[in-house]
């Protein structure tokens, strides 16, 4: 059976032609059990790789890209991104895949370099983080058939695989916790409403308020941008309406709000309770410590790599949808440790 073709070996092993090629050329991105199955077929049949198989393998770079659109570049001041990148790097090292970062600073740079990514086969696939609903990079990658996995759901593109957290229920839990403590005027500093995380967290907040039979006060909702500066400015707008508690859609915005409260002579939680979202390192080093919603940021990064490698292995359809649960972490900033209302 040594005259077998690459396609016949792939059929016997139950994998794609490109997978067999990656195995025989010792390319990364193949699960250990799949690699073992392919070698068993090769040994049983006496198949010998030919020049065509090696030529096919040469089209794979063994590199995946992490793309951060220009609108998100300023967010690298947020501890979220180093933690996410750490998880992605760990998974790449596990699978012997190299990672390259594409960080765009303006629209012109984004348009120019994204064409290079798509057209020059610089990477085998792309993980895209913090994209907005109308991000032009997404249809560009789709049109050029670049394997793509999103961090964060994209409702406009149901064909895309994504890894996300349950942002709706996380925000619901944060707001409901403040309600259980007896706070009545709970404000929300939202994330950008052009991003799925910001939108879902706002909806979770609205659900918790309305479920208690209360009317959602639009004056208690101010949009932020996931940055500390955004939280600071949003809190300044909220001060005149005097909420007794604030749920911020990220820890960074919570710390910005906290700074505005201090400048106004108000104390957390004595005057205003505060809850964030993320549970990264600064949440535990503040005094009082920040009550927040924990999301498994590094795990999200690791899983995004696993999903992308699965897409490269088995094709983009059906779309993979991975959604992690969140966890309410109660500390002092909400007043739960010494306030009963």
CATH of 167-295, one of 2.60.40.3880, 3.30.930.10, 3.40.50.300, 3.40.50.2300: 3.40.50.2300
Q: Model's pTM, two decimal places?
A: 0.79
CA angle at residue 121 from 298 to 88, to 5 degrees? Answer: 5
| Confidence tier at 55 by pLDDT (50, 70, 90) | very low
127 vs 77, more confident: 127
In the chain, where are the structural domains located?
Answer: 6-57, 63-165+297-324, 167-295
48 vs 43, more confident: 43
> Is residue 29 pLDDT above 90, yes or no?
no
| Confidence tier at 72 by pLDDT (50, 70, 90) | low
* Per-residue pLDDT, 110: 66
Across residues 186-202, what is the average pLDDT? 96
Structural class in CATH, domain 6-57: mainly alpha
| Confidence tier at 115 by pLDDT (50, 70, 90) | low
| Confidence tier at 53 by pLDDT (50, 70, 90) | very low
CA distances from 271 to 182, 205, 265, 319, 339 (A): 14, 21, 9, 47, 11
Q: pLDDT tens for residues 201-227?
A: 999 999 999 999 899 999 999 999 999
CATH of 63-165+297-324, one of 3.40.50.2300, 3.40.50.1820, 3.40.190.10, 2.60.40.10: 3.40.50.2300
Indicate the range of 42-56, 86-100, 176-190, 295-309 predicted with least confidence. 42-56
Across residues 233-245, what is the average pLDDT? 97
Measured CA to CA, the distance from residue 86 to residue 95 in angstroms comes to 15
Q: Which CB contacts under 8 angstroms, 24+ apart, belong to 292-296?
A: 292/174, 292/251, 292/254, 292/329, 292/331, 293/170, 293/171, 293/173, 293/174, 293/326, 293/327, 293/328, 293/329, 294/326, 294/327, 294/328, 294/329, 295/165, 295/170, 295/324, 295/326, 296/165, 296/324
Q: pLDDT tens for residues 255-299?
A: 999 999 999 999 999 999 999 999 988 888 888 999 999 999 999
> Is residue 56 pLDDT above 60, yes or no?
no
Q: How far is CA 322 from the centre of its chain?
A: 11
- 167-295 has the same fold as 63-165+297-324: yes
* Per-residue pLDDT, 25: 66
């Amino acid at each position: 059976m040594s005259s077998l073709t690459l396609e016949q070996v792939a059929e016997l092993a139950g994998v794609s032609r490109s997978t067999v090629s990656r195995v025989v050329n010792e390319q990364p991105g193949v699960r250990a059990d799949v690699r073992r199955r392919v070698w068993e077929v090769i040994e049983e049949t006496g198949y010998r790789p030919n020049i065509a198989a090696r030529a096919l393998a040469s089209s794979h770079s063994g590199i995946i890209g992490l793309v951060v659109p220009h609108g998100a570049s300023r967010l690298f001041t947020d501890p979220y991104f180093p933690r996410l990148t750490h998880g992605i790097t760990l998974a790449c090292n596990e699978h012997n895949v190299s990672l390259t970062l594409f960080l765009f600073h303006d629209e012109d740079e984004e348009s120019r370099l994204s064409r290079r990514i798509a057209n020059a086969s610089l990477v085998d696939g792309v993980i895209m983080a913090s994209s907005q609903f109308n991000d032009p990079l997404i249809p560009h990658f789709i049109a050029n058939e670049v394997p793509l996995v999103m961090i964060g759901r994209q409702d406009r593109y149901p064909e895309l695989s994504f890894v996300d957290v349950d942002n709706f229920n996380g925000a619901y839990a944060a707001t409901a916790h403040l309600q259980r403590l007896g706070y009545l005027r709970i404000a929300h500093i939202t994330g950008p409403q052009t991003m799925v995380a910001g939108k879902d967290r706002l909806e979770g907040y609205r659900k918790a308020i309305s479920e208690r039979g209360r009317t959602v006060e639009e004056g208690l909702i101010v949009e932020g941008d996931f940055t500390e500066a955004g939280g600071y400015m949003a809190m300044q707008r909220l001060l005149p309406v005097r909420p007794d508690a604030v749920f911020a859609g990220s820890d960074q915005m919570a710390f910005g709000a906290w700074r505005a409260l201090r400048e106004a002579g108000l104390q957390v939680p004595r005057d205003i309770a505060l809850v964030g979202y993320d549970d990264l390192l600064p949440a535990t080093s503040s005094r009082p410590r920040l009550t927040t919603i924990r999301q498994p940021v590094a795990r999200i990064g690791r899983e995004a790599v696993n999903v992308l490698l699965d897409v490269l292995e088995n094709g983009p359809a059906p779309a993979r949808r991975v959604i992690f649960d969140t966890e309410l972490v109660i500390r002092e900033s909400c007043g739960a440790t010494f306030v009963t209302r």
